[in-house]
Amino acid sequence: MGTLGRAIYTVGFWIRETGQALDRLGCRLQGKYYFQEQLSRHRTLMNLFDKVPAVDKDAFVAPSASIIGDVQVGRGSSVWYGCVLRGDVNNISIGSGTNIQDNSLVHVAKSNLAGKVLPTIIGDNVTVGHSAVLHGCTVEDETFVGMGATLLDGVVVEKHAMVAAGALVRQNTRIPSGEVWGGNPAKFLRKLTEEEIAFISESATNYCNLAQVHAAENAKSFDEIEFEKMLRKKFARRDEEYDSMLGVVRETPPELILPDNVLPDKAPKAS
């Protein structure tokens, strides 16, 4: 960013701060009678100078997540509540159909001791479990990182590999395809079964479907939310046995029916 760009950025920053400055001035004028409200400065997407997040329109980013700087999120991927993806000194790339679950942290390293540049690259249809930490590593397509696992600088997880929950994978470790690694420090545990490999893709698909439901819920207006509350209150008192004795048939409103692809035990209706 050149001198002109920085000047424009600074002016924009001043304009955005004007509202809070006026609020502080008003509080001083009110003296001891003022009520000060703490305003949240959280932004789901935040740029760092010329480093701007690029999120596909079909991706889901939860309102409480933070995507900062040079971060790319692909089609159908989801970044869940409380996650932080910080691409400041390097870039983060996330493929399509990948889910980064709640409270996970993805960061980068400018370089290691040998001078190797270390962005964080996450492939397609990857599942990253809750509270995982990924730092300057590469996670290839259709892999599974368990809850609370930590992947340090230079780690490579090959396609169809799995990192067990709570594992600590040391720097520059390579986890071969079809293997499960776990422990602190992480080491080879066993080979994955065919069913477990199939589960990795299934897990990514399930989260892709679930993300669509959360995206729709987060997009609802206040009036829509209040209307659904009223419907739920009304139908919560329904007694099917009592209704059957009266010959009453009540249909559940479509607003209260989850899509078939979210309920694993519910088979799709035949057309």
pTM: 0.74
Q: For residue range 21-57, list pLDDT tens digits in order.
A: 887 888 888 877 666 666 677 889 999 888 999 999 9
pLDDT, residue 228, reads: 81
- Residue 242 predicted with pLDDT over 90: no
Kindly tell me the burial class for residue 219, based on how many C-beta atoms sit within 10 Å of its own C-beta (0-12, 13-18, 19 or more).
exposed
The 3-state DSSP composition of the chain as helix, strand, coil percent (nearest 5) reads 30, 25, 45
Domains of the chain: 45-196 (2.160.10.10)
Higher pLDDT, 139 or 4: 139
pLDDT, residue 171, reads: 93
Q: For residue range 153-204, list pLDDT tens digits in order.
A: 999 999 999 999 999 999 999 999 999 999 999 999 999 999 999 999 999 9
pLDDT, residue 271, reads: 45
- The DSSP code for 118 is B
Kindly tell me the burial class for residue 3, based on how many C-beta atoms sit within 10 Å of its own C-beta (0-12, 13-18, 19 or more).
exposed
Q: For residue range 100-111, list pLDDT tens digits in order.
A: 999 999 999 987
Only one residue has tokens 């995507």, namely: 67
Q: How many angstroms separate the CA atoms of 56 and 262, rounded? A: 22
pLDDT, residue 232, reads: 74
Higher pLDDT, 106 or 262: 106
